A and B are shown apart, each in its own frame.
Chain A
Amino acid sequence: MLATSPPAAGAAPDLLALIGFSKSFAGFTALDRVDFTLKVGEIHALLGENGAGKSTLIKAMTGVVARDAGTMRLDGIEIAPRSAEEAVRAGIATVYQEVNLAPNLSVAQNLFLGRQPTRFGLVREGEMRRRARALLAEFGLSIDIAAPLESYSVAIQHIIAIARAVDQSARVLILDEPTASLDAQEVEVLFAVMRQLKARGIGIVFVTHFLDQVYAICDRITVLRNGRLAGSAPVADLPRLDLVRLMLGRELSAATGRRPPHEARAPSTAVAAFRGLGKTGYVVPFDLTLRAGHVVGLAGLLGSGRTETVRLVFGAERADCGAAQVAGQKASIGSPREAMALGFGYCPEERKTEGIVAELTVRENIVLALQARRGALAPLSRREQDAIAAKFIRLLDIRPPDPERPIGLLSGGNQQKALLARWLATAPQLLILDEPTRGIDVGAHAEIIKLIRDLCAEGMALLVVSSELDELVTYADEVIVLRERAHVARLTGAQVEVPAILAAIAEVPSSASPPVRAA
């Protein structure tokens, strides 16, 4: 047993204090002077959208990445771990969403991996098992510790990982999205363990994107946005709406301009319509109609089902129910190739892993989709490729304007423009953009938003996922709000305003109040 003093509410001393943490990667600022304080026996939610800097902050405080600036004190003593191991020795342990243990080894072996009790260099199996049983008993877990770790559910594996972390004399426990793959009952088991650790005076940093869980168990909330501290407050002082605003809200920058008034437009022809499209365990069936010259925005928190929705529409994930109509004809979309043949284009959120081919040139990346649609046997001549690349480099102002540069050497914003060019080269009827302005500089933001408006004016149908609500309302004709993998609200015309979207995202899901269904 480690900590002895029970936490006195409000007056608990600081356990861990980070001051002025900064980190940048190749010119991109991931963390900008972030402060963070964790008290003894506190469960502290660390929230933020993708790219807000949560992972970087955790990595910086556990020594996985070297921070550029900032000091860290544990119990008032300055520490500077240079690796995860040093952090563990100092008393800061981390359990990641993907349990970093050996699934093929036994539970006991996993608990004591690398620190087995030994005698004369030999592992004392009996002693190890006895201690493993005692350790798990503290967490109310009586399982066969000789069985391989993989024979247990993800929830149990998480508790085992936590037990291992706490047993290594942890004062601070960081849980990085531990509940992402757990069901409601398993979450309760995990919460019970967390409450027990809290009672022992251990400080817990809890990363999640489920707001219900934040309000169920946390004492304090810290929100990061774009690498900066957006706010930190006790849970009681931060109602849902304010929290969502902290996470998503952004001062309307001059670059994006104000939204032009929504004129009532006659509904144009439907480019594509989906009825009851869905996939079990992926996204709840939804209806969606995309019209020429209209932008449909998808809003919601991380993990709410936005990306899942567009992947079903593009056939990147196969739907198990629902029907699609494209240009009035019944269509089946089972793969990106089929979606492309129907005139769809899709710029995914994960630019590096799903978008660019880093070692190929800008020219090759731009012509890739058009070439794929023509087929391997109808190659674009080098002259045609050069012409297409030159046209889009000029049109989208891709910098440096060198078509033969490997695209991996370009900045994020220019990579994004080249990916847009890849799809614009195919002259799509429907363009799907997933977080088109994430991780790019302010100048490129404004250019991409202008491009979205221009494409819309030219009659293209657009489906845009964006966490930048202030930007979304400037170009979207309709916004669909998602929560917990379901489409919960549809806002059109004058309803497309940031407060309305925030309200729909933040609404407490309960059987008492019916979901908002604006027509």
Chain B
Amino acid sequence: MALRLPRIGTSQIVALAVILLANWVVSPQFFDIRLQDGRLFGSLIDVLNRGAPVALLSIGMVLVIAMRGIDLSVGAVMAICGAIAASLADSHALPVVLAAALGAGLACGLWNGLLVAVLGIQPIVATLILMVAGRGIAQLITEGRIVTFTSPDLAFLGGGSVLGLPTPVVLTLGMMALTLAIVRGSALGLMIEATGGNPRASALAGIGTRLITVAVYMWSGLCAALAGIVASADILGADANNAGLWLELDAILAVVIGGTSLFGGRFSIILAVVGALIIQAMNTGILLSGLPPETNLVVKAVVVLAVLLAQSPRIGGHLAGLGVLFSRKKP
């Protein structure tokens, strides 16, 4: 039985530090940050900025996975909501654009949640439906074209900056803070961990497990919508075919790297975001190093394997044993 004492996320923080240091080795200017036109620039800022969509997805995904679920549709939901935002941007005011896109994300989450909680379909199958259909829906919205817009309001969400930080970074931090406040400020966090840890016991203890299930899928949809808006705002357009493509897998990876078990239970929102940053730091590092970008996926796989091995109770025990060996050898 995998019983863990409260984690502090050491292995994730160490992994992130190691990757950042490796980036510094291959590119000595990695930690250089300069202020230009009231905005910070530099590779480190770039990691945060580029990592924002996956970080946003992982904030929703971590809650779904903690409930023993999974949401494969977030990439497709990004495409839908990005397409809606881009299509409306030049004809409507920003609040209308945002309400429409975020509302669509919530509706997508509601659909997933009802399939899982009410019809009892396995999460991986239930969300696969929208993963496949969603990209089609996004193409219907853009009528098969790449929709572009010129609205500076929406563009600000992708390319602007607030207090020197790129807007996507601020949005991600805001979403993370909001989610933490809701989940840890209320008893929802405890209920999610209890339900993920033992659904039958939780239902018998009077927890409304169905309602919470629907709610976490809706939150995942909302996070995906925000990620889709950021992605569209960044490129001043919507590409229904490629927006958010395969990002659901990066988000799941980020959550797993962040130490949340796919079997549900204990979760950490902050470590999931750290996981997303680990993934992006690797991507950026490989680009900076001049290695062919094709190696990216292989290197990513190796790093993920290393982090997961470090977390595995079996391997972790051996590592601890090695540590004891070394400390004994030292005088």
Contact = CB atoms under 8 A, between A and B. Distances in A.
Interface of A: 314, 316, 336-337, 340, 346, 348, 353-360, 364, 367-369, 371-380, 404, 406, 408-409, 422
B191 interface: yes
Given A337-B208, A357-B202, A376-B188, A408 B194 contact: no
Please tell me the size bucket of the interface on B.
Answer: 20 to 34
Interface string B186-220: 11101101100110111111111000100000000
A358 B3 contact: yes
A313 to B, nearest CB: 13
Of residues B187, B197, B200, B212, which shows the largest number of chain A Cβ atoms within 10 Å of its Cβ? B187
Contact of B193 (A316, A360, A373, A409): A360
A344 to B, nearest CB: 10
Contacts, number: 91
Contact of B197 (A348, A358, A404): A358
Contacts of B187: 371, 374-380
A135 B266 CA distance: 52
A360 B194 contact: yes
Contacts of B186: 376-377, 379
Contact of B191 (A337, A348, A371, A404): A371
Contacts of B328: none
Contact of A355 (B1, B185, B201, B207): B201
Contact of A368 (B1, B3, B190): B190
14 contacts: A340-B206, A354-B200, A356-B198, A357-B193, A357-B198, A359-B265, A368-B207, A371-B187, A371-B191, A372-B191, A379-B185, A379-B190, A380-B187, A406-B4
Interface string B1-42: 111111000000000000000000000000000000000000
Contacts of A422: 205
A376 B203 contact: no
Contacts of B197: 357-360
Interface string B274-290: 00000000000000000
Contacts of A408: 1, 3
A510 B212 CA distance: 50
Given A368-B207, A373-B206, A356 B190 contact: no
Contacts of A337: 206, 208
Given A359-B197, A360-B197, A368 B202 contact: yes
A195 B40 CA distance: 86
B3 A372 contact: no
Contacts of A372: 191, 202, 205-208
Nearest to A337: B206
- Please indicate which of the listed interface residues A346, A364, A368, A408 has the most CB atoms of chain B within 10 Å of its own CB: A368
B8 to A, nearest CB: 14
Contact of B205 (A369, A378, A404, A406): A369
A327 B188 CA distance: 31
Contact of A358 (B1, B202, B206): B1
Closest 8 CB pairs of A and B: A372-B206, A379-B187, A357-B197, A340-B206, A357-B198, A372-B207, A369-B205, A368-B205
A367 B265 CA distance: 17
Contacts of A346: 204
Contact of B5 (A336, A368, A373, A406): A406
Given A358-B3, A359-B3, 10 more contacts: A336-B205, A337-B206, A348-B201, A354-B200, A359-B197, A359-B266, A372-B206, A376-B188, A378-B187, A406-B5
Given A379-B187, A409-B3, A358 B198 contact: yes
B204 A359 contact: no
B191 to A, nearest CB: 6
Given A354-B200, A368-B205, A359 B190 contact: no
Contacts of B1: 358, 408
Contacts of B188: 376
B28 to A, nearest CB: 44
Contact of A336 (B191, B194, B198, B206): B206
Contact of A356 (B4, B185, B201, B208): B201
A354 B201 CA distance: 4
A72 to B, nearest CB: 30
A371 B194 CA distance: 11
Contacts of B190: 360, 364, 367-368, 371, 379
A152 to B, nearest CB: 26
A422 B205 CA distance: 9
A359 B261 CA distance: 12
Nearest to A426: B206
Nearest to A356: B201
